[in-house]
Amino acid sequence: MRSALESVMDPEIGLSVIDLGLIREIHFLPDKTFVRMMLTTPFCPYAPQLIEEVKVATTGVVPLDCEVELMPDAWSPEMMPDPGLLGFSF
């Protein structure tokens, strides 16, 4: 699942939702896959596009309906597995 979601890129930052640490939880339920994710900004104009791309990538691996829930949490670069990918240090 992780490798499929690595293909979903944030169009402004140019990194994947995995590299950015936006995917917080994935649950495989009997009738669907449930993904909890966050956005880099609360009113991200690309939210609908990112949600759809996460659904497509997920259903490409697990052929069940995918539900994506946006978490209200505030994102920060420290949530990234490698914040250095942004090109500056914290």
Quick check: is 32 in a domain?
yes
Assign 56 to helix, strand or coil.
helix
Tell me the pLDDT tens digit for each residue of 53-88: 999 999 999 999 999 999 999 899 999 999 989 886
Question: pTM to 2 decimals?
Answer: 0.91
Containing structural domain, residue 52: 2-72
Question: Using CA atoms, how far apart are residues 55 and 86, in angstroms rounded to an integer?
Answer: 25
Q: Considering the chain, what percentage of its residues have pLDDT values greater than 70?
A: 97
Does 34 score more than 80 pLDDT?
yes
- The contacts of residue 11 (CB under 8 Å, 6+ apart) are 46, 49
Quick check: is 46 in a domain?
yes
Tell me what pLDDT residue 1 has: 87
Contact present, 15 and 9 (Cβ < 8 Å): yes
Quick check: is 10 in a domain?
yes
Q: How many domains does the chain have?
A: 1
Contacts 24+ apart (CB under 8 A), 76-79: 79/20, 79/21, 79/38
Question: Any idea what DSSP says for residue 33?
Answer: E
